[in-house]
Amino acid sequence: MKDRPADDSTRLYLIRHAATSANEQRPYILQGRSVNHSLSETGRSQASALGEFLSAYSVDHVYASPLKRAMETAEAVARHHQHSVQALDDMVECDVGEWEKLDWGTIMERYPEHYHAFMENPAETPYLGGESYGDVLNRVKPVLASLVKKHLGETVVVVGHNVVNRAYLAEFLNTPLRLAKNIKQSNTGINVLRYRDGEISLTTLNAVFHLP
């Protein structure tokens, strides 16, 4: 197909999963690795639109976090290309520890000291009882580096999560990791990266052309 990458490069579509009920709740609650919801009705529509959009492009492999919301989103893409989805355990969402299922207002009220420390520098300060952005980056970066080297001449889709994607993308935006929480990642937002000559570059951030 005309959009295939050159033989010495890899195209990576890094995508956030479609919406779940937790994403739609107001105030929304933290949804880490221990909350394993399926997609909501809105999320299923988003995933379907994503799959239709990417059906016009070459896709050689589809990977995802093992959580339901990521796998279901990836399956909506894979079915257009007759692929199965391969789970990547290290792409699982951040462990948010004791803050799982809590909203930020409640967290600020119950844990003010740790909340402010986290907001000041999530790169080094973990979610209470969980991971920091630095912890997440340290497990995600080697996985994606391995994939792009493995799939030269091909296009790879990886469906991840909000914190996972933010932590990984910060470097390509010249953003300090402590500020990565400010990087916008919409449900089914598409980030396009290119690997060539040992380097990865970001060409598109959080594209949502496929959504109404």
Rounded to 5°, the CA angle 104-172-7 comes to 130
Q: In angstroms, what CA-CA distances link 172 with 84, 120, 181, 187, 200?
A: 29, 21, 14, 20, 8
Q: Distance (Å, rounded) from C-alpha 105 to C-alpha 80?
A: 41
Q: Please tell me the predicted confidence (pLDDT) of residue 22.
A: 87
Q: What are the average pLDDT values for consecutive 10-residue runs of the chain, which has 212 residues?
A: 82 98 89 93 98 96 98 98 97 97 96 97 98 98 97 98 98 97 97 96 97 90
CA-wise closest residue to 191 among 172, 177, 178, 174: 172
In the chain, what are the domain boundaries? 9-207
Long-range contacts of 204-207 (CB under 8 A, 24+ apart): 205/169, 205/173
Q: Please tell me the predicted confidence (pLDDT) of residue 89.
A: 97
Q: Please tell me the predicted confidence (pLDDT) of residue 2.
A: 53
Output the pTM of the full model.
0.96
Q: Please tell me the predicted confidence (pLDDT) of residue 28.
A: 85
Please provide the CATH number assigned to the domain covering 9-207: 3.40.50.1240
Q: Please tell me the predicted confidence (pLDDT) of residue 1.
A: 46
